[in-house]
Structure 1
Amino acid sequence: MNEIITTKRPLLGLTLDQLTQEVIALGMPRFTGKQIAQWLYHKRATTIDEMSNISKANRALLAEHFEVGRSQPVTSQLSIDGTRKYLFRVSNGGLVESVFIPEGDRATLCISSQVGCKMNCLFCMTGKQGFKAHLSVGEIINQVLSVEESERLTNIVYMGMGEPLDNPDNVLSSIEVMTAEWGLGWSPKRLTLSTVGVRRGLERFLRETKCHLAVSLHNPFAEGRLQIMPAERGTSLEETLEMIRQVDFSGQRRVSFEYIVFDGVNDSPAHAAELARILRGIPCRINLIPFHQIPNVPLRPVSAERMEAFKALLEQRGYVTTIRTSRGEDISAACGMLSTKEQMNL
């Protein structure tokens, strides 16, 4: 059977201003844009027919040009620790994964921003796929609306597949949809974006949003970081830290630094001392992350004792330091493990 190709555009992901412009172009009243926004983001409609306070004639006209743009996950997998990984198919035919992580009274969804990734970090499975496509605003928001636990989510982290700030227009627009009163109405303090450091995208994120920031650091020495993170060549850690120092993180907005600890690579007292030195003066938290072994990569995880010793060195220098608990490792949902490789035939 031949696949039906639709030219209808998705409404999901459009801002209130964009929706208003679209309905005016179709000859509808200006207020129809606000009605559609309410149906999309407050009432979470999945079809145009559900938009009952819009006239039948205008719904028919909308349906000629648009579709809501919601799509359900292709599959999901449940971990023994309660973590659930979802697989979504996106418009270019690619696949992305999202991860729901319950923890006490927190219900966090880790969402993706790209199919694959350009950054090619040595320790990350997503980077092994190469870059395929940017997710649209609607495809980013769809992950939030279409997981089974959507209504109980308390936090969103842009830490899934892809580098969010390599897709700045769509990621920042998705944050607008997430936080605007006409959108999902979330506090920006419930959103955290993780980045390796991409200058133009980071400048915009720091200027245009109030969301929390998590920086993938992983080695405080430029040469060592470059060996595992090619992005160091494009925007150095020194440049990234300089941008962060221009922003006030002493209040409710937080910055944290993610540090995957590798055996014999970045776990020495010298690394701890240099990490403490380069972060001096930045009010922050350091998150130490266990490495999850991936195929054909020479890196190795450290022992629990070694991890604790590294944590103690940072705490002695005055840094709030935590060791992140691994979640969903049995379903390849833990940090650095997201990859749709085994499911590409779906």
Structure 2
Amino acid sequence: MLPLFQSDAARPDLRSLSLSDLSALVERLGERPYRARQLYAWLHRKGAASLNGMTDLPRAFRERLTAQARLTTLDIDAVQESTDGTRKYRMRTQDGKFIESVYMPDETGPESFDPEADEEEGPGARVRLTLCVSTQVGCAMGCGFCMTATMGLLRNLTAGEICDQVYRVNADLRRIGVPGERPLTNLVYMGMGEPLHNYENVLRSLELLLSEEGANFSQRHITVSTSGLVPNIVRFGEESQVKLAVSLNATTDEQRAKLMPVDRKWNIAALMDAVRKFPSRQGRRVTFEYVLLRDVNDSDEDAARLAALLRGLPVKVNLIPYNENPGLGFADPGAERVAAFRKALDARGITALVRKNRGRDIAAACGQLAVQA
């Protein structure tokens, strides 16, 4: 199993513990049970950066916590802001690794970053403040069009590190004047790493972020993306309530295996079978992500094969014009070809929407995240 951050591992990370785990710790320390809920609220509702800031907890209790446990907090190392309002955060972990998270402020509607989300949120426009979070330092999937793949995989992020991206960005948004105690409204697990390759920590992070006593996100406002780790797709559907996005990007195994090595282990047929078994609930259709690459997977024939693959499934397609990366050898097909591809899907009864690329000018768009670790 890929290692986590191992420094001082004998002391549990408070940010990664469930409320029941915190309750057990509080009991061992001889404190009253209600202290666990106070501590949990500081960690996940208020996003406290340190134990010293938890002012309604007795100092003696905080000192015992410091001796018996540790608190994972990320440091914001750098922030870049795009002309479209997107903010890319480079964050440093406590063992000196770097990850990136991307904040995207967006109006609802057909031109938004995530237009299909409007279906779940009902009528009435609102501002959607989305954070794209990372789940690993680097990535092992090796997708040929993705910059994160050039890093390789260094380690998994803990549940606490996944959650703390949300809390550090919320704190920064408050600092620059974005209203609300917790400004972020939506989360997409589409940053660095393959979420289902870090399954247990991703699942725990979702438990923490969805908790009413904590960050209290709605399950309708969180999407987890996967490149196609088939054994974990059905399991994820049974063990979580959030939405799933599957990165397909090709319509034949020959084509997909060249772009995405994961296809050599779990081919398109196995992937489609897993999607058919994914528990479908109201407002929880699976989304297929399809990155359009010029002269690679963007032909009318590709559109016809894609429609045939998806026919009869309660899914939708998110078309993503490629965000170009130096040295990888792929290009954006252009608006005309993207529109023609979408029209070909629509003509065959497949719901297809084009994702608005955010933050291209600061290398913050889909497939562009990478840092020197």
Q: TM-score, normalised by structure 1?
A: 0.93
What's 2:27 paired with? 24
Match of 1:34 in 2: 37
1:321 lines up with 2:352 in the alignment? yes
Deviation of 1:160 (Å): 0.1
Secondary structure in 1 matching 2:187 = strand
TM-superposition CA deviations, 1:150-180 (whole Å, max 9, x none): 7211100000000000000100100000112
Q: CA RMSD in A?
A: 1.7
Q: Which amino acid in the other structure matches residue 129 of structure 1?
A: M
Structure 1 counterpart SS, 2:23: helix
5+ residue gaps in structure 2?
1-6, 108-126, 175-181
Match of 1:89 among 92, 95, 110: 92
* Alpha-carbon distance in structure 2 between the residues aligned to 1:199 and 1:32: 41
Match of 2:16 in 1: 13
Deviation of the 1:6 alpha carbon: 6.2
Aligned-pair identity in percent equals 39
Structure 1 Cα separation of the partners of residues 245 and 92 of structure 2: 27
Alignment of 1:46-125 (within 5 A): 46-104=49-107, 105-125=127-147
**1:264-315 CA-partner distances (Å, limit 9, x unpaired):** 1111222111111111121122111111222222222212111111110000
1:93 shift after superposition: 1.9
Count of aligned pairs = 338
Offset of residue 236 of structure 1 = 2.1
Q: How far apart are 1:17 and its partner, in Å?
A: 1.3
Superposed, 1:145-224 pairs within 5 Å as 145-147=167-169, 148-149=172-173, 151-224=182-255
Q: Tell me, in whole angstroms, the C-alpha distance in 1 between the residues paired with 2:56 and 2:323.
A: 51
Contact 2:72 2:94 in 1 (8 A): no
SS in 1 for 2:294: coil
Q: Deviations over 1:225-254 (max 9, x none)?
A: 001000112222222221221234362113
Distance in 1 between residues matched to 2:53 and 2:95, nearest whole Å: 27
Q: Would you say the 8 A contact 2:238–2:279 is kept in 1?
A: no
1: CA distance, partners of 2:357 / 2:55: 45
Alignment correspondent of 1:310: 341
Instruction: Give 1:38 shift.
Output: 1.6
Taking the aligned partners of 1:183 and 1:242, their CA distance within structure 2 comes to 35
User: What TM-score does the superposition give when structure 2 sets the normalisation length?
Assistant: 0.86
**In the aligned structure 2, how far is the partner of 1:40 from the partner of 1:167?**
22
> Do the aligned residues in 2 keep the contact of 1:47 with 1:67 (CA within 8 Å)?
no
1:48–1:67 contact (8 Å) kept in structure 2: no
CA distance in 2, matches of 1:298, 1:323: 22
2:4 maps to what in 1?
A: none
